[in-house]
Structure 1
C-alpha cells in the first residue's frame, strides 16, 4: 500500500506543510497567522510512477512558499480556479485561471528536464482548485509516450480540458478514503482519463518546428537523455556515448543542444549534481560521498558547483534531514 499524505482537518498550518511536502520546503517570510490554508491538500503516489497532488484551499493570509528541489518529470496540470504566482527557477508559470465567478479552467503539460526551484506567492482570501499529475520518465517510457512531445526544459503546452476531464478533476478533489484500494483505483482511472485527454489533443498537433528535429531524431535524443538520467553514461566519454546511441558523435551533440539548449556533458554534470542532492536529502550521505556521486574528486570544487546549481551549499540539504 502506498503511503497517502492527506490532512484530516480543514485548517492547514505551517507544521502540516513542512511534514507533508518534505525536505527542502520553506516559508521565507513569517505569515501573519499560524493557520495558513482552509480546505484540502494532499499528495500521493499511484502505481507505476504516477504522482498526484490535489489542492482545494482558501488562503487565510498572504503566503510565500519555496521548495528547493522539485523532481524532474512531465506534469499534467488542470487548474479550475486560482491566480497564485508560481515561478520555476525564476520563470513565471503561465497558469492563471482567475478567481471567483470569473474563474475559467486552464490546463497545461509542463516539462521539467531537471529539478528546479519552486516559489509560490498567494493573496489572502483567494481560492486555489487544481490537480497536478506527475509522470515519471519510467512511466512515460512504459506508456510509449517518451519523446512524443517537445521536451524543452520548462516548456509548456496548453490544452483545453474536456467536460469529462473537468468532471474527473472534481472527483479527485473529493476522493473519499484515499487509503481504500478501490478508491485508489478510481483515482488512478481519473488520472488516466485526464492524461489521455491532454495527450490526445497535443499529439494531434505538429511540434517538429519547436526544436527543428525530425521525429526520429528527436526520439533518439530523448532516448539519450534517459541514458544520461539513468547513470549508465557517467563513466563514458563522447565516443562511448555515441556508440551506445549508434550515431555520429558530432551529430548527436548538435541534436542534443538543439533540443535541450545545453551540451550533453553540461546536462550529465547537472544530473549527477541532482543525484548527489537527492542522496543528501533522502539518504543523509556525507558531503564527501555526495561529491563522489557527482563525479568530483575535490570536495571544495563540488561545493562550489553545487551552490552555483542549487543556490545553497550541500550542508543545507543535509541539515534538512
Structure 2
C-alpha cells in the first residue's frame, strides 16, 4: 500500500506494482483511489499497450491524441500501439477508483514476431504502425482472473514473482493479439451494403459534429471502428479522405456564413478552424477558386 507523490501530496492511494520481464514485457498493476485532481506528464517509448481495466476509467493523451479506457460499467480489454516515443498526459480525478493491469511490449519485438508470418499478420502490423488507435475486446473469465492475480500475487519471493508475472502477462497479451486477429479476419471480406451504410454513418456524424474538435481518434471511439477502417470505408465510398472532407465541409459552412450571414473573413476563418486568416484564404481559394473577399462580396 502507498501513495504516488507529486508536488504537495499524494495523487493516489492503494496497491501498485511495476515489473519488466525477459520477454520484453513491462507490467504495471494498480488498485487505487485517486486522491486529488491533477495532471501527470511523462514519456513512453514505442510499444504495444494492452490494458485490462477491471474497474474505473483512465483518461490520457499520447502526443495529444486522447485515449479513454472506460470500464465503469464492466471490465474491458484495450489494445493500442504507440508507434514512436511519445509524451503522455494522464488525467487524475479525485475520488476515482481504478483497478487495472497495463502491459507494454516493445514494439520492435512484437513486429519482429508478427513478421515471421507476414501474410497472416499483415493487418495487425499495419494497425500497430499506423498511429494511436484503441481497440477493445471482452476479456475471458480466465484473463480477468489472471489480471486479479497480477494485482494481488500469491508470492513475494522475487524469482517466483517474476515468473508468476511473466507467465500471466504473456497469456493476457496473447489473448489481446488473438482478439485483434479475429477482428482482422472478419474484416477481410466486407459486405458492400454494410460498408455503404457505415460510410453514411461516418459522413452524417461528421456533419452533425462539424463545429466540434473532430479527430480520427474521436471518430473511432464514437463510432466503434478502428481508424484504419474509418479511413478505408470512407475513401472507398466517397473518393476522399476523412480529413479532407472535414476541411471542405468547414470551408463550405464558412463560405455560406459569409454570403448569407455577413460574417467577416476573420470570423469565417475561426468558424472553419483556422487561426490564421491568411491560411484560411489559401485553403478557401484552393477549394472554391476564389478568395474569401470575392465570395463575401458576391
TM-score, length basis structure 2: 0.55
Match for residue 194 of structure 1?
A: 172
The CA distance in 2 between the partners of 1:45 and 1:107, in whole Å, is 20
**Structure label with greater radius of gyration:** 2
Q: 5 Å matches for 1:90-129?
A: 90-98=64-72, 103-129=73-99
The CA distance in 2 between the partners of 1:186 and 1:207, in whole Å, is 32
Deviation at 1:120, TM superposition (A): 1.4
> Root-mean-square deviation (CA), in Å?
2.6
C-alpha offsets along residues 5-38 of structure 1, whole Å, 9 cap, x if unaligned? xxxxx23142xxxxxxxxxxxx6xx5xx523321
The CA distance in 2 between the partners of 1:49 and 1:153, in whole Å, is 21
The CA distance in 1 between the partners of 2:146 and 2:186, in whole Å, is 31
Match for residue 134 of structure 2?
A: 156
1:54 maps to 2:24: no
How many pairs does the alignment contain? 182
Match for residue 249 of structure 2?
A: none
Deviation at 1:161, TM superposition (A): 0.5
Match for residue 241 of structure 2?
A: none
**Structure 1 pair 209–200 and aligned structure 2 pair: CA distance change class (3 A):** closer
**Structure 1 pair 196–13 and aligned structure 2 pair: CA distance change class (3 A):** closer
Deviation at 1:71, TM superposition (A): 0.6
**Structure 1 pair 178–138 and aligned structure 2 pair: CA distance change class (3 A):** farther
**Structure 1 pair 88–208 and aligned structure 2 pair: CA distance change class (3 A):** farther
Structure 1 spans left out of the alignment, 5+ residues: 1-9, 15-26, 211-257, 260-321
The CA distance in 1 between the partners of 2:157 and 2:115, in whole Å, is 29
Structure 2 spans left out of the alignment, 5+ residues: 189-230, 233-298
The CA distance in 2 between the partners of 1:209 and 1:158, in whole Å, is 15
Instruction: Tell me the SS of whatever aligns to 2:136.
Output: strand
C-alpha offsets along residues 147-192 of structure 1, whole Å, 9 cap, x if unaligned? 6212211022211100000000000001255552122212111112
1:11 maps to 2:6: no
Match for residue 12 of structure 2?
A: 37
1:173 maps to 2:143: no
The CA distance in 2 between the partners of 1:72 and 1:179, in whole Å, is 31
Runs of 4+ in 1 over 4 A off after TM superposition: 176-179, 207-210
Instruction: Tell me the SS of whatever aligns to 1:94.
Output: strand
